[in-house]
Amino acid sequence: MNITVTVNGAARTSDVEPRMLLVHYLREVLGLRGAHVGCDTTSCGVCTVVVDGLPVKSCTMFAVQVDGRSVTTVEGMASNGQLHPVQAAFHEEHGLQCGFCTPGMMLVAAAFLEENPAPTEEEIRWAISGNLCRCTGYQNIVKAVETAARNMASTEVSQ
Amino acid sequence: MFPSQFEYHAPASLDEALALLAEHADEAKVLAGGQSLIPLMKLRFAAPPIIVDINRIPGLDGITEEGDTLRVGALVRNRALERSELVSARYPTMAAAAPMISDPVVRNQGTFVGSLCHADPQGDWGSVMLALDGSVVARSQAGGERVIPIAEFIDGPFTCTLRPDELAVEARVPDPGDDFAGTYLKLERRVGDFATVGVAVFLAMSGGTVTKAGIGLTGVGATNIKATAAEQALVGNTVSDSLIEEAARLAADASDPRTDVRGTADYKRDVVRVYVARGLRAAAGTPVA
Amino acid sequence: MTTMETAPSAEHPGWMGKSVKRIEDARFIAGRGNYVEDVVLPNMLHMAILRSPYAHAKINSIDSSAATALPGVVAVVTGELLAQHKLAWMPTLSGDTQAVLATDKVRFQGQEVACVIAEDRYVAHDALELIEVDYEPLPAVVTPQQALEEGAPLIRDDKEGQVDNRVYHWEAGDAAATEAAFAQADRVVSLDTFYPRSHPSPLECCGCIADVNPASGKATIWMTSQAPHAIRTVFALVAGLPEQNIQIISPDIGGGFGNKVPVYPGYVVATAASLLIGRPVKWIEDRTGNLISTGFARDFHMTGELALNNEGKMLGLRVKMLSDQGYAYADAQPSKFKAGLFHMVTGSYDLPAAHVITDGAYTNKAPGGVAYRCSFRITEASYLIERLVDVAAVEIGMDPAELRRMNFVQPDQFPYRSATGFVYDSGDYAPALDLALEQAGYTELRAEQAARRASGATKQLGIGIASMTEALGAGPSRDYDILGIKMFDSAELRVHPTGKAILKLGVRHQGQGHETTFAQIVAHELGIPPTDILVQEGDTDNTPYGLGTYASRSTPTAGAAAALVARTLREKARKIAAYLLEVAEEDLEWEGDRFSVKGAPEKVKTIQEIAFAAYTNHPQGMDAGLEGVKYYDPPNLTFPFATYLVVAEVDVETGEWKPIKLVAVDDCGVRINPMIVEGQIMGGLTEGYAMAAMQQITFDEDGNCIGSNFMDYLIPTAWETPHFDLYDTCTPSPHHPLGAKGVGESATVGSPAAFVNAVVDAVAHLGVRNIDMPVLSSRVWEAIHHAQG
């Protein structure tokens, strides 16, 4: 089936089987390998991407479902060579170790901060509770989201 | 991780969807949120030859109060219920349950109505609907519209009474009145787990007397359970500690849990008792004018 | 990139102790990590594995004709085909054998039975459904106790001379001295406890791409491997391929935790298939395959007995352990020690006598055991002793912190020879305990606990302490080898003409920050900024031979090698500097990144100038270049220690609990990069919490595995995971060139007991003495109700 999807701002047209999962479409047809596969039960969230502004687990969607829609992956977070504040904050606060959960975690964090720009620690932990991490113990991820929130707020203020 | 092949349809209108279901009936599965169906397909526990994706159909994503009924369309995501001011103000049992469904990312996609159709005995929404005496509206090409009370809608584990040519288009919840309270308590091993025990509680009051009581139980039976004896013990009475304890005990008796990795049957039954008591105490302590 | 710490400052001489932001982050935050699953080769095929639904069954026949006929399927590989090439069985890392693909029988649920090789993974999975296997189920052996019963079904009937399900019997310590100690004891406290089977479960599953070039015969295998060199040697021996023609490349790895050390059947079949077909074959397992068949962790049934006098002084320790090894003895551990380093069980305590008896049994489950940050089974040992100490404290009516303190090995006893033969390098346990108690507000907590007990509150408070010592950095060649390969490690350092450098190591990180930490080591020794140093690991053609990264060994071994090789380069640099400055070598002094002439400090040569000269103006008679390689044989293990203190709040009506405070005081000697060290500790604490609170893999009586997906095998989310308050003390290792001890596993080793001690403490006044992990709410409830009668 022919689908046209706006991925990171660019229209991409492909012919895919209906059963092809969105995560496989992104990784193997489009070569965007930032989204990963980590489980069989929609539990881990390393496949998370953003569809029409909302994070979804791309292993639990068919590519054909995003025909005509827009998808943002980690590869689309930076703009004009500038890291997204969330990406910069993850680096600043050592919010990653092996990096496997990081793309999904950052996309969820960025979408969350758009909805809640000044979150508490509790709210952050709740927001990322659909994304598992084995390496960091989450504390530095929380710090990264707090730092990103502060930096995004001060950028706004100065504008 | 790799589903079997299927024929895919994405109808643009309700009539088109109903025509497809009429034509393919037993061979077709409806895809809304997909957060229950697609995992089954990936593990090949389900291999429907035909998928009818209803996500493009307009008009199915409303949360509205019309007359004396809350109407939740088939494409309303759990996320929307979590954020709905209407639900938060008027349907506290639902408002308490919404953030407990699965995890935040899955809630962005999964639907309320889809969850009811999936009829997982460990699904939270079924118990909420039993406590609130909700119903599901089904449409078909041949039969028009059918309003199915939730107790008749849930038929067995993972079985609802929709006919193969029917599409659930809406769920309805009756007006709670002027003086009501409710909550949902869920014991889970961690976020995203199914309930070890879930308890939905609803109370409508009038001048300190219970006029309506709803208690739904998750994860302690072959289907979600409506604790009718416990409800009846409450109706017509003033809330007191001993009444709450009595109702909690009756609710525990109504449950039929199994021993498994989450705990023994005795344990789960006792949690029902404790949670129903806590839920009722919370509800009785917070009347909404 | 964003900023990082630049030049050394007066407060932080050199690069030790600096929290340099990670150099490797750039690719990961851009989503451009290079994991095995990301690698794509032209003409690549995909492999999928058919697994046994039975725990124990004869295979009567396999019919793969329908699968082979499916368009897109290139081949179906079975045990029969492999047997023709003598590849149906392979050695394990413990000198046993395990099946590559089942031939006569399947011996665990999930065992690999056949592999489909196809053009596309979706088609490969369609083909799996078309393979027909005729199984004849046999009774399953599901516990090691069952396995050792008279008349139990024989699991390894494939092994000549195997008459029962025994795997090993191994003892440590002194039976007679321990007997005597127990005879003198005023009190004997005993505890039976089970450390359940769990699984390291990194988020990236295992996988490989095997590319055997049909023309050259060179086998290039991308593999999720924590120990690529050792695996290469094993492949050479097993597959009969010449070792120079095997290249194992471990690219970025999405978490290891010991899961990615063993050789798995999928790697072998993919390689054999590539060899036979002449095209690259990619195999990436799914989560079910990972949990049901790859190296599990723990599964130890333990009994500990502690002999004490009336004052609380420990006199002796007796331990019996029965381990469930699964159907093959496949632990990745030093060959001399059949139960790994489990005999580290005397922990932080000055126990004059100890006797440890261990036995291993086969069962119808996946093989493994040494994994999940266990420091070669010290996790199990530490849990036992720290639970036993708490049980003893209750029984003799002593505060658990005081009982620990009075029995600690004292600072003046180091180096300390333990009753089971370890020589602890350095330690100072009481200050760590004191700091933990102070930061937690221990006195106030006990007061709060007492108040809640008095009032009969629904939410009770418990305080759990674990003061652990463990052994890392395996290990000295006289005692440590895996399959005969000694456990040294290596570093190769080359400085380029422009003063940048490349450091190649025999270890292989999976997120531990080596590209930064090890660059800091070279920076500390030579003054080259870490961002000018490329750290390379994992490609066996391009790195010196090493034993890999697990058991927290990288800093103690390869880190030492890196420091020492950098020092040899500094010695050569001195000669070049002397030549350039026309002075004698003794007239030069080194500071930071340069040599200067004593008394004439303006006469200076920086390391960059010296490097350039090494290629353009080196003294006659000296080799050009500035490089070296060091193979480091550690003289001893290293012995980091910690006190972990957990405060748990328990709902006594439902058994639900949560950790509301966690104080961790870690002493791992010198910390090269404190930020990275703390990251390791927090990850380890979370895994400790996971095991304490929710993780287990169980089996029903037919051997069906419950715990082979993330709905059953639970990983905590950010919501359940507590906040950590981290502190440190520093007792350097006297034998490590940098004084560092390693830390990656310490928190996983030491913290589970702290969590369990806390929950048991919260309900001890209700009569509860012990709750085994995972401490699910249901188990707390059962314990309370059982105690109340």
What string of DSSP letters covers C157-221?
A: TTSTT--SSEEEEEEEE-HHHHHHHHHH-SEEEEEEEEEEEE----SSPPEEEEEE-TTT--EEE
Task: Quote the mean pLDDT of chain A.
Answer: 97
Q: Which of B262, B260, B271 is nearest to B199 (CA)?
A: B271
Return the CA Rg of chain C. Answer: 27
Tokens representing residue A113 in the block: 């901060």
- pLDDT value at residue C7: 38
Check C654 against B189: CB less than 8 A apart.
no
Residue B1 CA to residue B211 CA, distance in Å, equals 50
Interface of C with A in 391-410 (CB under 8 A): none
Two structure tokens written together for B49: 């030859």
Q: Which two tokens stand for residue B115?
A: 């969850």
Q: Give the DSSP letter string of A95-154.
A: --SS-SSHHHHHHHHHHHHHH-SS--HHHHHHHTTTS--SSS-SHHHHHHHHHHHHHHHH
Place of tokens 């040519």: B165
Tens-digit pLDDT profile for residues A27-75: 999 999 999 999 999 999 999 999 999 999 999 999 999 999 999 999 9
Residue C550 structure tokens: 């697990």
Is residue B220 within 8 Å of residue B214, measured between CB atoms? no
pLDDT at B285: 82
More confident residue, C6 or A43: A43
Task: Point out the residue among C2, C28, C718 whose CB comes nearest to the CB of A138.
Answer: C718
Taking only the tens place, the pLDDT of each residue in C375-434 is: 999 999 999 999 999 999 999 999 999 999 999 999 999 999 999 999 999 999 999 999
> Could you tell me the sign of the dihedral formed by the alpha carbons of C698, C701, C705, C707, in that order?
negative
Query: pLDDT (tens digit, 9 = 90+) per residue, A86-137?
Result: 999 999 999 999 999 999 999 999 999 999 999 999 999 999 999 999 999 9
Task: Give the whole-angstrom CA distance, residue C510 versus residue C503.
Answer: 17
Q: What percent of chain B has pLDDT over 70?
A: 99
Tokens of C12: 């932080």
Please tell me the predicted confidence (pLDDT) of residue B67.
Answer: 86
Count H helices, E strands: chain A? 5, 5
Shortest CA gap A34–chain C (Å): 4
List subunits contacting chain A, requiring 3 or more Cβ pairs under 8 Å.
B, C
The amino acid present at B140, given as its one-letter code, is S
For position C6, what pLDDT does the model report? 35
Report which of C267, C283, C270, C280 is spatially closest to residue C214, judged by C-alpha positions.
C280
Minimal C-alpha gap between B111 and chain A (Å): 13
Three-state secondary-structure class, residue C523:
helix
pLDDT at C318: 98
Q: Please report, rounded to a whole number, the percentage of residues in chain C having pLDDT higher than 70.
A: 98
Q: Return the pLDDT at C13.
A: 63
CA end-to-end span of chain B: 50
Distance CA C365, CA C359 (A): 17
Distance of CA C722 to the CA centre of its chain: 22
Which whole-number Å values give the CA distances from A44 to A106, B100, C511, in the listed order? Answer: 14, 17, 18
CB C329 within 8 A of CB C167: yes
Residue with tokens 């409450």: B234
Instruction: Note if C208 is an active site residue.
Output: no
Reference B175, options B270, B275, B90; nearest CA is: B90
Give the three-state DSSP class for B65: strand
Interface contact flag, A40 B106, Cβ < 8 Å: no
* Sign for the pseudo-dihedral over CA of B160, B161, B167, B168: negative
Between chain A and chain C, the number of residue pairs with CB atoms below 8 A apart is 181
**What is the tens place of the pLDDT at every residue in C573-620?**
999 999 999 999 999 999 999 999 999 989 999 999 999 999 999 999
Tokens found for residue C342: 């489990």
Q: What is the mean pLDDT of residues B249-277?
A: 98
Q: What CA–CA distance (Å, rounded) separates A20 from A14?
A: 12
User: Mean pLDDT in chain B?
Assistant: 96
Q: Average of pLDDT values for C253-269?
A: 96
3-state secondary structure of C267: helix
Q: What is the pTM of this model?
A: 0.97
**Tokens in use for A36?**
């990963």
pLDDT at A157: 67
The closest of C775, C769, C748, C739 to C648, measured between CA atoms, is C775
Interface partners of chain C (CB pairs < 8 Å, 3 or more) are: A, B
For the structural domain made of C25-31+489-632, what CATH number should be given?
3.30.365.10
Q: Among 3.40.228.10, 1.10.10.10, 2.40.37.10, 3.90.1170.50, name the CATH number for the domain at C36-138+205-253+260-293.
A: 3.90.1170.50
CB atoms within 10 A of CB A28: 15
d(CA C708, CA B121): 22
- Are C371 and C409 a contacting pair, CB within 8 Å? no
Contact list in A for residue C675 (CB cut-off 8 A) is 94
Share of chain C above pLDDT 90, in %: 96
d(CA C75, CA C77): 6
CA-nearest residue of chain C to B196? C778
Interface of B with A in 32-71 (CB under 8 A): 34-35, 38-39, 42-43, 51, 53, 55
Name every residue whose Cβ is closer than 8 Å to that of residue B116 and which is 6 or more positions away in sequence: B123, B125, B126, B129, B136, B150, B153, B154, B160, B168, B171
**Residue B19 belongs to what H/E stretch?**
helix B14-24
B274 touches chain C (CB under 8 A): yes
| CB-CB neighbours of C770 under 10 Å | 13
Contact assessment for residue B176 and residue B68, using Cβ atoms and an 8 Å cutoff: no
User: Is the per-residue pLDDT at B288 higher than 90?
Assistant: no
Q: Identify residue A99 by its one-letter amino acid code.
A: G
Contact B11, B20 (CB under 8 A): yes
Task: Write out chain B residues lying below 8 Å of C121, CB-based.
Answer: 2
Stretch C706-716: mean pLDDT? 97
Q: Which residue of A has its CA nearest to B110?
A: A56
Asked if the Cβ–Cβ distance from C706 to B261 is below 8 Å, we say yes
The domain limits of chain C are 25-31+489-632, 36-138+205-253+260-293, 297-474+636-787
In CATH terms, the superfamily for domain A85-158 is [2Fe-2S]-binding domain (1.10.150.120)
Residue A159 pLDDT class (50, 70, 90 cuts): low
Mention every residue, 6+ apart, whose C-beta is less than 8 A from residue C333.
C93, C94, C340, C341, C370, C376, C377, C482
Q: What is the mean pLDDT of chain C?
A: 96
Amino acid (one-letter) located at C786: H
Helix, strand, coil percentages in chain B from 3-state DSSP, rounded to 5: 40, 30, 35
Q: How far is C696 from chain B (nearest CA, A)?
A: 10
Place of tokens 């506290």: B92
Q: Where along chain A do its domains lie? A: 2-76, 85-158
Tell me whether residue C374 is one of the annotated catalytic residues. Answer: yes
C36-138+205-253+260-293 shares the fold of C25-31+489-632: no
* Chain segment C485-533, per-residue pLDDT in tens: 999 999 999 999 999 999 999 999 999 999 999 999 999 999 999 999 9
Residue C4 has pLDDT above 50, yes or no: no
- Is 3.30.365.10 the CATH number for C297-474+636-787? yes
Q: What is the mean pLDDT of residues C294-322?
A: 97
CATH number, span A2-76:
3.10.20.30
Residue B208 reports pLDDT greater than 90:
no
Q: Residue C337 phi/psi, 5° resolution?
A: -115, 105
Domains A2-76 and A85-158 share a fold: no
Specify the residue for token string 């979804």: A56
Task: Fill in the amino acid letter for A3.
Answer: I
Q: Give the minimum alpha-carbon distance from C347 to chain A in angstroms, rounded to a whole number.
A: 25
Q: Is the CB of A101 less than 8 angstroms away from the CB of C202?
A: no
What's the pLDDT score for residue B68?
85
For helices A139-158 and A102-115, angle between their N-to-C axes, nearest 10 degrees: 50
State whether residue C5 sits within 8 Å of chain A by CB: no
Q: Nearest CB to A137: which of C201, C203, C682?
A: C682
Sign of the alpha-carbon torsion through C774, C780, C783, C786: negative
% of chain B beyond a pLDDT of 90: 95
Q: If DSSP codes are grouped into helix, strand and coil, which group holds residue C339?
A: coil
CA distances in angstroms from C56 to A149, C88, C137, listed in the order given: 55, 18, 6
pLDDT band, residue B143 (cuts 50/70/90): confident
Please check whether residue C410 is in contact with residue C201, taking contact to mean a CB–CB distance below 8 angstroms.
no
Q: What is the pLDDT of residue B286?
A: 55
